[in-house]
Structure 1
Amino acid sequence: MTQILSKRREQTRARLLDAAHEVFGEVGMDAASVEMICERAGFTRGAFYSNFESKEDLLLALITQLARQKLDEIAARVDTLDPDGPVDLPAFVRRAMGPPDGDRIGLQLGSEIRSQALRDARLGAAYLAWQTEMSARITGIVTHVASVFDLRLRLPAEEIAQVLIDVSDETCVRGVLEGRTDAEVNAQHNARIERLVSALVDA
C-alpha cells in the first residue's frame, strides 16, 4: 500500500512540475498562481500543498529537474560517439548544447528563473547550484571527448564548459527577444557554437 501511495505521489508531483513548466513559461513567475498550475495539472490546491510548500519551492524543484534532464541528454549524446571513427566536433557540441526545436517555453522559463534568482536569495543559491552542476558535468564531457579523440584544448576544460553554457544561453534568449523564428534561433546558435569550438579546440 505504501509503495502504491508513493508511486501516486510521484506521479502527482511530476504532473504539477510539468504544468508549472508550461504556466511559468507562458505567463511568467509573478503572474502564475497556484490555482493556474493546479488547473493545468488537473489537481486541487490540497494536492499542490501536499507536495510543495509554496510556488517558490516548486520552482526550486523545477530548476533541479530541468538541469538533470539537460545533463542526461548531453551524456546520452556522448555515448553515441564512436571512439574509433571520425568526429564532427562542432556538430556534436551544437547538438549537445542547443535547445530542443520549438522549446520557447523552456527559453522563457530559463529567463524567468534568472530574473527571480536575482531578487530571491534562496532561488539565487539554487540557480548557482544548478549552473555549477551543469558546468561540472560539461567539463567532464569536454575532458572525456578530448581524451578519446586526442584533441588539444586551448583553455582549461572547465573554462570551455562555462563559455559554451554562456554563449548558448545568451544566443537563444537574444534570438527570442529579437522575435526570430525557431529555425532562425537554432541556425544562429549552431553557427556561433561551431565558431566557438573551432577557436577553443585543436583537432
Structure 2
Amino acid sequence: MTDPAAPPSRRRETTRAKLLDAAAQLFAEVGLDAASVEAICERAGFTRGAFYSNFASKDELFLELAGQVATARMEAVRARIAELECEGALGAQITDLAAIIPLVLDVSVADHVGVMLMSEIRINALRSPELAAAYLAQDAEMRTSVAQLITEIVESNQLVLRVEAADAARLMLTAWEGESVRATMAGLAYEEVAQRTNDVLALMIRLIIEAPRR
C-alpha cells in the first residue's frame, strides 16, 4: 500500500514503480501477451483505475519497462567498470582477465527473472520496430562499453587481440547472453548459471586474446 500522507507526486511514483515491478515478474513468468492488466494490478495490489491513471496501455508499460531495464543494465556496467578502475583491477594480468569480464557483465542480469525478462524483451523487439530500435541502441551502447574495457585491459598489459575490440565485445556478449539463456532453460540455480557463463567467457577470451611472447 502507498502512504496516504505522502505527496501526490511521490505516491504516483511509488504506484508506477510497484506496477512496473509486478509487470516485470509477470512478463518474465508468462510473457507479455498472457500477462493481463488485471493480473498486473492484482500482483501490485492496485485497481485497474490506478493502472490506467499511470499507463495508457499494457504496451506503453512494457516499453517503459524495457527502457528502464536497458538503463539499469548500462548504469550497472558503468558502475562496475568505475569500481574496478578504482581498485586497480583493470591492470590485472591475463590470468585475471577471464574473471574481470564476467564481473562486469554479471551485474546486468542478476537472476532467473532477469534472464526471462530480457528474453521477453528480445522476442517482442522482433515484432515491434519501436522496441527493436530502442533495444539495438542499448545493445550497441553495451558493446561499446565492453569494447572500451577490453581495449584498456589489453593496452595496459601489452596483450594482442586476434580481432578488433568491437568484434571481441560482440562475440563475448553473444556468447554470454546465449549461455545464460541455455543455463536458465536447464533450470540451473543462479550460481550454476554464473559458472556456466563465466566458463564460456573464459574460453572466448582464450580464443580472441593472446599474451605477448616473452
TM-score tier, shorter chain, comes to 0.7 to 0.9
Q: Which residue of 1 aligns with 2:92?
A: 86
Secondary structure, aligned partner of 2:124: helix
Structure 1 residue runs without a partner (length 5+): none
2:37 and 2:58 in contact (8 A); partners too: yes
Matched, 1:48 2:51: yes
Matched, 1:137 2:145: yes
Cα shift readout 1:23-73 (whole Å, capped 9, x = no counterpart)? 111121111011111222222222222322221121111112112222222
Q: Which residue of 1 aligns with 2:128?
A: 120
Q: Which residue of 2 aligns with 1:63?
A: 66
Q: Which amino acid counterpart does residue 117 of structure 1 have in structure 2?
A: A
Q: Give the distance between the partners of 1:146 and 1:8, measured in 2 at CA.
A: 48
Query: Over alpha carbons, which structure has the higher Rg?
Result: 2
- TM-score under structure 1 length normalisation: 0.84
1:101 and 1:182 in contact (8 A); partners too: no
Cα shift readout 1:131-183 (whole Å, capped 9, x = no counterpart)? 22322332333334444444443322221221121111100111222333433
Cα shift readout 1:101-141 (whole Å, capped 9, x = no counterpart)? 97111111122122222222222222222222322332333
Q: Give the distance between the partners of 2:191 and 2:145, measured in 1 at CA.
A: 28
Moved more, 95-104 or 42-51: 95-104
Matched, 1:158 2:166: yes
Q: Which residue of 1 aligns with 2:17?
A: 14
Moved more, 115-124 or 95-104: 95-104
Moved more, 68-77 or 139-148: 139-148
Matched, 1:195 2:203: yes
Distance 1:45 1:141, change over 3 A: farther
Structure 2 residue runs without a partner (length 5+): 1-5
Moved more, 18-27 or 37-46: 37-46
Q: Give the distance between the partners of 1:16 and 1:111, measured in 2 at CA.
A: 20
- 1:39 corresponds, among 37, 42, 52, to 42
For residues 160-175 of structure 1, the aligned pairs below 5 Å read: 160-175=168-183
Larger RCO, structure (CA 8 Å, separation 6 or more): 1
Moved more, 144-153 or 170-179: 144-153
2:70 and 2:135 in contact (8 A); partners too: no
Distance 1:159 1:93, change over 3 A: same
Please state how far the C-alpha of 1:194 moved relative to its aligned partner: 0.9
Q: Give the distance between the partners of 1:74 and 1:45, measured in 2 at CA.
A: 36
Q: Give the distance between the partners of 1:144 and 1:11, measured in 2 at CA.
A: 40
- 1:110 corresponds, among 118, 126, 133, to 118
Q: State the Cα RMSD in Å.
A: 2.6
Work out the percentage of aligned pairs sharing the same amino acid: 41
Q: Give the distance between the partners of 1:61 and 1:149, measured in 2 at CA.
A: 41
1:98 and 1:168 in contact (8 A); partners too: no
Q: Which amino acid counterpart does residue 59 of structure 2 have in structure 1?
A: E
- TM-score under structure 2 length normalisation: 0.81
